[in-house]
Amino acid sequence: MPQARQVTLSAAQEQELRWARDHHPKAYVRSKCAGILKVAAGTPTRQVAASGLLKPVAEETVSDWIDRYQSEGLAGLLVRKGRGRKPAFSPSGLEASEAASQLEEIVHRSPRLYGLDRSGWWLAGLRQLVTWMQRLTLSGIWQILRRFELVYKRGRQHVHSPDPLYNEKLAQIERARDLAMQAPEEVIFLYQDEHTAQLRPPNCCGWRACWMSPPVRCWCADGSASTSRRCTASSIMSSSTIRRPT
């Protein structure tokens, strides 16, 4: 049977540990001090680790506490900077909000803008492009995307698809906007949007046999719905809005 570890404390060390056990602001330091004091009082480290603290720990952990206190004092019981699990994007120095914005901007653009010959994004492609993702598994990348509420959706008939000329068009817009800000009397910069709405008549009542389904929606005489299209433009300088039905 291995011999129980003997810990000898000076009067000053014992007083320091007792004060820290009762008054230190960090709970984990109070727990470590309590464990060291119990071992110094003659309780085996195995017993202290198994049932002498609020939560069981490994016997080697209690021995490490003792070694660090004997070599560094009370400061050795503090958690060192850089310990613990790191965020997946910590090597890049990004905050969570910045990493989410970076990923959202990437997935909303075509992979071809980044030199990848694919029409849509896939997990391995993101790992290849994003620096702080290169050490992650595909499952880890999926979990980060889910955390940032970026989900894989089924394709739709009408969708805002990535434009391979997005970067060039965005640069042209920024140049035109800067020109309008510098010479507002000569250059007018407008934001334009168009919207098409199909106006269909509401449901109506009609006579039918009781076993038949309810009356269907009433349609126009020619069997089609009326269509309305509106165009709106807003000036960047005056904030005025022009609306025109077409």
**pLDDT digits 0-9 by tens, 18-33:** 999 999 999 999 999 9
Q: Looking at the DSSP assignment, which residues form a beta bridge with residue 235? A: 190
Is 223 contained in some domain?
Answer: yes
Is 52 contained in some domain?
Answer: yes
Is 96 contained in some domain?
Answer: yes
**What pTM was computed for the model?**
0.39
The residue segments making up the domain with residue 227 are: 184-203+219-245
Is 194 contained in some domain?
Answer: yes
Which of 55, 77, 99 marks a domain boundary? 77
Which pLDDT value is given to residue 167? 82
Which pLDDT value is given to residue 177? 86
Looking at the structure of the chain, the number of domains it has is 3
Is 27 contained in some domain?
Answer: yes
Quick one: 73 and 94 in the same domain? no
Quick one: 73 and 97 in the same domain? no
Is 16 contained in some domain?
Answer: yes
Measured at the CA of 150, the angle between CA 146 and CA 153, to 5 degrees, comes to 105
Identify the burial level of 44 via C-beta atoms within 10 angstroms of its C-beta, where 0-12 means exposed, 13-18 middle and 19 or more buried: middle
- Euclidean distance between CA atoms 84 and 53, whole angstroms: 21
Quick one: 95 and 64 in the same domain? no
H-run or E-run covering 139:
helix 138-147
Which pLDDT value is given to residue 155? 58
Residue 90 token pair:
């910590």
CB 227 within 8 A of CB 199: yes
Is 135 contained in some domain?
Answer: yes
Comparing C-alpha atoms, which of 78, 45, 48 is closest to residue 63? 45
Is 192 contained in some domain?
Answer: yes
Quick one: 72 and 118 in the same domain? no
Report CA Rg, the chain: 34
Which stretches in the chain have pLDDT values below 70? 1-3, 81-93, 154-162, 198-226, 238-240, 242-246
